[in-house]
Amino acid sequence: MSPIQLTRGRVWSKSWPLIFANALIPLVGVVDTMVIGVAGSAVDLAGVALGSAVFAIFYWGAYSLRQSTTGFAAQAVGSGDYKQSQLVLVRSIILALLLGSIIVLLKSPLSELSFRIMQGSQEAELVGKSYVNWRFYGMPAAIALFALTGWMIGVGLTRVAMFVQVFLAVINGALDLWFVLGLGWGPAGVAAGTAIAEWLAMILAAGILLRHISRTTGVYSVAVSPAHIFHVLPFVHLLSVNRDLFIRSGCMIIGFTWFINSGARQGDAMLAGNQILLQFIAIWAFVLDAFAFTAEAETGRAIGRKSRAALDRAVLLTSEYAFVTALVCAGITLLAGPWVLRAVISDSQALTAALAFLPWCSAVPVLGVAAWQLDGIFVGATRSASMRNSAIISVALYLIADYFLAPAYGNAGVWSAFLLYYVLRGVTLAVVFPALRRSIPVA
């Protein structure tokens, strides 16, 4: 039976659950920030900003596992190899739990080293260290949840992914409010609440997938066989792709951490304002990534089917939705942003800083949408080397731009270089996309 042709309706049906699921991923950080914004001071906000940036170094460094899992799972489904898709899931979970456990064991030296690099005030760093200490305990679950979610996207279970993220966001929000407003634990309370929520969400996701697999294809013997799980060649391939994507994620972390650090040099109020605006960007990035994730799955299936026509259609239809949505996101930021900022920021200096640079923030969805879409296409194709090279070039040019612009123009220079960074990420991938397309058979 020939595969069903991708349509705009199918793109939307696959993407709308991911819009909600993805928007809820950064909502974990948004809730942490907003609870502190209401209950704390500018120093507390700045401390959570620094702590979040440090934690992101390790958290988003492991995000490569979500991407590689999606790509490999989608390609396996596209070729009709469901045994291989289960092996992808098991291998990814093993890697996730191993990496997360190592990070927990090394959390103290990793935290100390990271805060030596940051440039916030002494008071903000003390708050940040308290926040990071608790967040690290959720790391194994958080990374395993990346693997589980990546597999869901790759095989088309986008509504399940949405349900898990809703569960995580609700539990995180409830625990944050209880620990901070109820028990008065401050930044440590929001971190502890998030770590607990991540463990509960991981357990829920694993249970749902086990039930799904049992009711559909059944658990194949190869998926529980150590000899097959740790077979050298596919496991090395998975590790090599994750290595490239890890380097790519590391470059992105450098970029975002540099943005926070560059803002920190402008003072605590400006740092706090930039941190709040970064939450807007995080939400829009994950909303737009819904279409990039659909592009990942459909690109992977096109690769599995060896069909250039299917690839072209996946790129076209998912990108149409993405570019229109980017314009909507920019408009919402400009129109609703001032009201949201006034509602969540109690410190007057931080509020003034955030309002001043809200228009700069609104430009990010429009300038970044090409980068997000191309990321999805290259993830689905598991062309990790191209993504790695793009990331290295982009972040290097961004750091050079910030080096000259930030001292000369203050926070306006910080934002100018940051916007350029998004443009560079899209351009460097667009240059190599024709080679990716030509590598797929015309059939």
pLDDT-derived band at 389 (thresholds 50, 70, 90) equals: very high
Highest mean pLDDT among 28-37, 131-140, 197-206, 239-248: 197-206
The per-residue pLDDT for 304 is 87
What value does the mean pLDDT take over residues 202-229?
Answer: 85
Residue 1 lies in a domain: no
Give the residue-averaged pLDDT of 33-38.
66
Residue 43 has pLDDT above 70, yes or no: no
Residue 1: band (very low, low, confident or very high) from pLDDT cuts 50, 70, 90: very low
The proportion of the chain whose per-residue pLDDT surpasses 90, expressed as a percent, equals 34
Q: Containing domain of residue 243, as a range? A: 8-438
Q: How many structural domains does the chain have?
A: 1
Q: What is the pLDDT of residue 6?
A: 81
| More confident call, 185 vs 141 | 141
pLDDT of 182 strictly over 80: no
In a domain, 223, yes or no: yes
pLDDT of residue 39: 54
Averaged pLDDT for residues 25-36 = 67
Which pLDDT score is estimated for 153? 92
The amino acid that residue 352 corresponds to is T
Q: What is the pLDDT of residue 174?
A: 87
For residue 3, tell me if it sits in a domain. no
Q: 255-304: per-residue pLDDT in tens?
A: 888 888 888 787 777 887 888 888 888 888 888 988 999 999 999 999 98
Mean pLDDT across the chain: 85
Average pLDDT over residues 357-383: 93
Conformation bin of residue 2: beta by default, left when phi > 0, alpha when psi is -120 to 50: beta
Tell whether 92 is covered by a domain: yes
Instruction: Tell which residue, 241, 235, 234, 92, has the closest CA to residue 153.
Output: 92
Q: Token digits for 111?
A: 């935290």
pLDDT band at 344, cuts 50/70/90? confident
pLDDT tens track for 68-104: 899 999 998 888 888 888 888 998 999 899 988 988 8
Is 121 part of a structural domain of the chain? yes
443 in any annotated domain: no
> Residue range 159-165: average pLDDT?
90
**Quick check: is 119 in a domain?**
yes
Distance, in Å, from the CA atom of 87 to the CA atom of 228, rounded to the nearest integer, reads: 8
